[in-house]
Amino acid sequence: MYNEEDDLFARTMSGVFQNIEYMCSMKGQHNGLWGKDGWKNIVVCVISDGRAKINPRTRAVLTALGAYQHGVARQKVNDKKVTAHIYEYTTKVGIQIKRGVVETRPGMEVPVQLLFCLKEENQKKINSHRWAIQAFGEALQPSVVCLLDAGTRPGKDSIYQLWRAFELNPKCAGACGEIKAMLDGGKKLLNPLVATQNFEYKMSNILDKPMESAFGFISVLPGAFSAYRFIALQNDKKGEGPLEKYFDGEKHHLDAGIFTKNMYLAEDRILCFELVAKRNSSWVLTYVSSATGETDVPEQMVELIKQRRRWLNGSFFAAVYALVHFYQIFRSSHSMLRKMMFLIEFAYQAIIFLDPWHIVTSPITR
């Protein structure tokens, strides 16, 4: 998260807590992995991008949960600059939103293991993912890493549904659910911009994602709500692999060319391609329709244009990258049938890629 308001943070955390409670209620399933002590297998990691940027009210919510202590952080220790401040706590304090006000809910039946990382400087989202995967992930060695943006509310069992996709398919490297526009009981549909985006999301979730999932390659797993198998993300012994390409975007923000800078506006698309084309591996990506996540969509034209300008540039150049490097799937361990399916999908995507050049306007979906 960056500087999100407390209600956006609480919306996400309450959804995460509900999912943990749901998984702990599944007694006697999955060889005892879930059940009464299932919470011990889950660590909720909150990463905030910049100590000076975090919203004071959000910081107060973290304090109420026990995951933050004011006045402890320092810019320097022994004359060395501090990179991040890490707080750990196992809380039994829940969180809820009533009439737009964030409230704590003491006495939760299921404890939650919280790990809060407050970065000293603002170093952008991709650096936060590096902390989550290459710092805490390396220490915890999780089987699955689920990514959530602050403000996205997962359904009460959505995280479990994503985890189940990995359990059912050992070759699944990444999975995503259905991203829904938050409609406030349908009231926001009166806004034409919201109604249009809602229709766009629905069409993507009904047509695009299921079709791509059937072929095994989803062009983008939304960073707002997706999950990855930790082993699949790892680089090889030479340091080459999905994470190497993914985190290249962190280094290219200053000296890179126009193509690379634009391509890494959609770094999640690069990661998806690199997972499927990983050398000597046969990973696939999956869409899970039963896993849902609600998020706010722009309600003003200015906000929408800013968002789509970023999406358009990123998706265009990332699509070019994937199409130009399609041959890399032949270095993977996929069966010949699967490789042929990928080629068919790439041919389809090439047609979709060229189509907007022949029409006046075209929606860009993620």
Q: Which residues are identified as catalytic?
A: 268
Whether the CA torsion 357, 358, 362, 366 is positive or negative: it is negative
Quote the DSSP letter at residue 78. Answer: T
Question: DSSP characters for 237-281?
Answer: TTS-SHHHHHTHHHHTTTT--HHHHHHGGGHHHHHHHHHHT-TT-
Q: What percent helix, strand, coil does the chain show, rounded to 5?
A: 50, 20, 35
For 87-144, give the secondary structure using H, E and C: EEEEECCEEEEECCEEEEECCCCCCEEEEEEEECCCCHHHHHHHHHHHHHHHHHCCCE
Q: Measure CA 253 to chain center.
A: 21
- The CA angle 263-265-270, to the nearest 5 degrees, is 55
Element (H, E) at 191: none
- The CA angle 48-54-59, to the nearest 5 degrees, is 90
Quote the DSSP letter at residue 41. Answer: G
